[in-house]
């Protein structure tokens, strides 16, 4: 995958893990398997901590696995801090450290009431030609790529337009319903809501880049949401991301189990 595709993939994977712990729990662990076709290419493990004052921190580690290690070493550490307000998670800081081979970069985004107050990228990115700058209006009323994927149990996850900013790219994820499917993994066995996802790049990317164009034209991206009864929320358990190299799938191998 090209560098931009890898970073979008990492951001999407990060979004999977933000399942809040149930009342009375301090630590919640979730694990995921990432595959390209039938080949496992990465694994991830995440911890959610919620304090008595409703502040939360979700942290995760992602690393390449299997044959992917022979091609390139991909790893990431990500975290989000914020406060639970009612049934929603509102971020105050989103952080991503991403490394592919010898190339590494960190993204640090600060939020206040849903608006971005600062973004730091290290080392600074040399912007290519045809770069679509992020206007100030695209940084208001936005979601981080982790907390933005969690919905209260009385919401319909498949009727959403999610304004996401991952530290560099501002994108909309437009979700629509496709029915339901059986899903079973450690900690869950039941029905999952299946949402079609339309990827809409807004700003913060090179115009005309092939991987962005490919993903924006595809109608084969899906996210499946399962209800975590103890936490009273919907959270993703399966994602299918079409790429030029074949579909990447992200599957929960542990969900709701500590």
Question: 145-176, pLDDT tens digit by residue?
Answer: 887 887 878 889 999 999 999 899 999 999 99
Q: What is the pLDDT of residue 21?
A: 45
Residue 90 to residue 101: CA distance in whole angstroms: 33
Q: Alpha helix (H) ranges present in the chain? A: 3-16, 68-71, 210-217
CB atoms inside a 10 Å sphere around CB 79: 17
Residues in the chain: 258
Query: Nearest-CA neighbor of 250 among 29, 1, 40?
Result: 40
- Weakest-pLDDT range from 61-65, 138-142, 221-225: 61-65
Under the banding of pLDDT at 50, 70 and 90, the label for residue 69 is very low
**Helix, strand, coil % (nearest 5) of the chain?**
15, 55, 30
Per-residue CA distances from 149 to 15, 24, 132, 180, 230 (Å) = 6, 22, 25, 18, 17
pTM summary value = 0.85
* pLDDT for position 125: 86
Helix, strand or coil, per DSSP, at residue 94: strand
Most confident of 2-6, 64-68, 87-91: 87-91
Question: Would you state the pLDDT for residue 9?
Answer: 54
Residues above pLDDT 90, as percent of the chain: 42
Confidence of residue 81 (pLDDT cuts 50, 70, 90): very high
């Amino acid at each position: 995958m090209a560098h931009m595709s890898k970073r979008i993939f990492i951001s999407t994977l990060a979004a999977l893990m933000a399942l809040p712990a149930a009342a009375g729990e301090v630590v919640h662990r979730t694990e995921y398997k990432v595959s390209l076709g039938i080949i496992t290419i990465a694994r991830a493990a995440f911890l959610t901590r919620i304090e008595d004052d409703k502040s939360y921190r979700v942290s995760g580690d992602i690393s390449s696995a299997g044959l992917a290690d022979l091609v390139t070493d991909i790893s990431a550490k990500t975290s989000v801090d914020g406060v639970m307000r009612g049934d929603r998670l509102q971020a105050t800081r989103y952080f991503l450290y991403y490394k592919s081979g010898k190339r590494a970069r960190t993204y640090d985004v600060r939020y206040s009431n849903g608006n971005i107050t600062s973004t730091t990228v290290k080392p600074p990115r040399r912007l290519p030609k045809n770069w679509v700058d992020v206007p100030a209006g695209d940084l208001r009323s936005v979601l981080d790529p982790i907390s933005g994927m969690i919905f209260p149990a009385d919401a319909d996850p498949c009727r959403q337009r999610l304004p996401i900013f991952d530290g560099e790219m501002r994108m909309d994820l437009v979700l629509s319903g496709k029915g339901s499917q059986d899903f079973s993994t450690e900690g869950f066995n039941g029905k999952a809501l299946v949402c079609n996802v339309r990827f809409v790049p807004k700003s913060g990317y090179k115009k005309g880049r092939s991987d962005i164009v490919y993903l924006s034209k595809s109608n084969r991206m899906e996210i499946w949401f399962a209800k975590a009864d103890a936490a009273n929320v919907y959270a993703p358990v399966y994602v299918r991301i079409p790429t030029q190299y074949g579909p990447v799938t992200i599957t929960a191998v542990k969900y709701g189990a500590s």
